[in-house]
Amino acid sequence: MKNKFITITTHIEGTPQESMFEIKTQILPPIESNDVIVKCLYISIDPYQINRMKHQSSSHTSVADASKITPGMEINSGGVGRVVASENSGYVKDDIVYGSLNWAEYTIVKNENTLRKLDTMEEFPLSYHLGIFGTSGLTAYGGFFQVCKPKKGEKVFVSAAAGSVGNLVGQYAKLFGCYVVGCAGTKQKVELLKEKLGFDDAFNYKEETDLNSTLQRYFPNGIDIYFDNVGGEMLEAAIVNMSPFGRVAACGAISHYTNSQKQATANMIDIVYKRIRIQGFLSTDFYTNDFKDFMSVTTDYVRAGKLCVLEDVSHGIESIPSAFLGLFQGENVGKKVVQIAQE
C-alpha cells in the first residue's frame, strides 16, 4: 500500500518556511504481529513540534512525543483515525482510535500503548478529540486548575487567548468565577474573546507599544494568575504586574520558539519580593489523575452550551506544512487541525 507522509528537509532554527518541508511517498511494509494500521482522519497541528525540529532543545529529552525529529523522519502527533488492518487482539478493522499518528495517510502503530479506542460520542465531531476533548483541553484544564490553583474572583491574564489552549483557559476561568483578560494578535480575535467567549476584556498586543503600562491599565490592582503561552516580553511585563503570591503557569513560549533573541529576562527581584510562583508543566502530567474529571466536566459544559468550541480545520495532507507555518503567523483561530481523509 502506498503512503504519503510529510517530513522536514532540514533542521529548523528560526521561522519555518514551506521549503523546509516535503511530501514523500513510501510503500508500507507488510503488517507484523501486534501491529495496527491506522488511516488518519484528523491530525493535530501544534507549535511544540518546531522544538522537535531543532538541532537541540530541552524538548528532545522530556517526553517521547516531544523527542527530536531529523530530516526525512516521519513526524508523529496526536491524531484520530480508523483501523484498516490489525494483527493486535485489542483492535479490529473499523475501530475509531485516538493515538500517536504520523503526519501521513497511514501509520503502522507498533506500540499499542500509544493508541486508545475512542468513545466517539456521536453528537460531537471526531476532531474535538484533538482539541477541546484532547491535549489542548487537558492542558488548559490541568494547567489552570492544578498549576494556577485559582480562587474565585481572582484576576487572570491569558496570552495567545484566541488559540487552542488559551481560549479554553479563559473560558474555564470565567466559568469558575474569575475576572479574565486575554491578549491576541488581531482585532477580530479580540472581538471574539469579548463578544463570543465572555472574556471581561481583551487587547491586541501588536498595537501596544509599552506592555508594562498596557497590563497596568487592564490590571490596576495586579494580576493574580498569568497563563503564559508566549514567553518573551509579555512574560516580562506580566511579572512586573503580578500581585503578591501570584502564580504563572508556564505553558509555552511560542514567541521564543522561532526567535532565540526573544527569551524572557524575568525580573528576579519582583519574583522574590512578591513571592511569585512560576511553574512549567506538560499536558502528560495530568493524564493519570485528571483526564476523567476533565472529560466529564468538559463534555457537560459543551452539552450545556457553556463552553464554546473553536476549531480551525484545513483539508488534505498537502496542507499540513502551511497549517503548521500559520501557527507562527497567528493565522489560526482556536484548535488547528488538518482533515486528511473523509470519515
Ligand X SMILES: NC(=O)c1ccc[n+]([C@@H]2O[C@H](COP(=O)([O-])OP(=O)(O)OC[C@H]3O[C@@H](n4cnc5c(N)ncnc54)[C@H](OP(=O)(O)O)[C@@H]3O)[C@@H](O)[C@H]2O)c1
Could you tell me if 185 and 206 are in contact, meaning their C-beta atoms sit under 8 angstroms apart?
yes
Residue 332 binds ligand X (CB under 6 A): yes
Residue 137 binds ligand X (CB under 6 A): no
The span from the CA of 55 to the CA of 303, in Å, is 44
Residue 186 binds ligand X (CB under 6 A): yes
Residue 197 binds ligand X (CB under 6 A): no
Residue 170 binds ligand X (CB under 6 A): no
| Closest C-alpha to 325, from 2, 119, 19, 5 | 19
- H/E element, 266: none
Among 3, 7, 86, 283, binds ligand X (CB under 6 A): 283
Task: For ligand X, give the closer residue by CB, 108 or 235.
Answer: 235
Residue 131 binds ligand X (CB under 6 A): no
The span from the CA of 164 to the CA of 230, in Å, is 13
Tell me the backbone φ, ψ of residue 8, rounded to 5 degrees: -95, 150
Residue 166 binds ligand X (CB under 6 A): yes
Element counts in the chain: helices (H) and strands (E) = 10, 15
Q: How far is the CB of 123 from ligand X (least distance, A)?
A: 24
Stretch that binds ligand X, among 83-91, 108-116, 160-168, 298-306 (CB under 6 A): 160-168
Among 164, 241, 298, 339, binds ligand X (CB under 6 A): 164
Residue 251 binds ligand X (CB under 6 A): yes
Could you tell me if 212 and 237 are in contact, meaning their C-beta atoms sit under 8 angstroms apart?
yes
Among 79, 125, 150, 185, binds ligand X (CB under 6 A): 185
User: Residue 182 corresponds to which amino acid?
Assistant: G
Binding to ligand X by CB under 6 A, coded x per residue (else -) over 30-59, reads: ----------------xxx-----------
Residue 222 binds ligand X (CB under 6 A): no
Alpha-carbon 298 to chain mean position: 16
Q: How far is the CB of 101 from ligand X (least distance, A)?
A: 17
The span from the CA of 195 to the CA of 170, in Å, is 13
Site size for ligand X (CB under 6 A): 31
Stretch that binds ligand X, among 31-39, 95-103, 164-172, 294-302 (CB under 6 A): 164-172
The span from the CA of 145 to the CA of 176, in Å, is 10
Q: How far is the CB of 287 from ligand X (least distance, A)?
A: 11
The C-alpha cell 508543566 sits at: 281
The C-alpha cell 488559551 sits at: 166
What Rg do the C-alpha atoms of the chain give, in angstroms? 20
Q: Footprint of ligand X on this chain (CB under 6 A)?
A: 46-48, 135-136, 139, 160, 162-166, 184-186, 189, 229-230, 251-255, 281-283, 327-328, 330, 332, 336
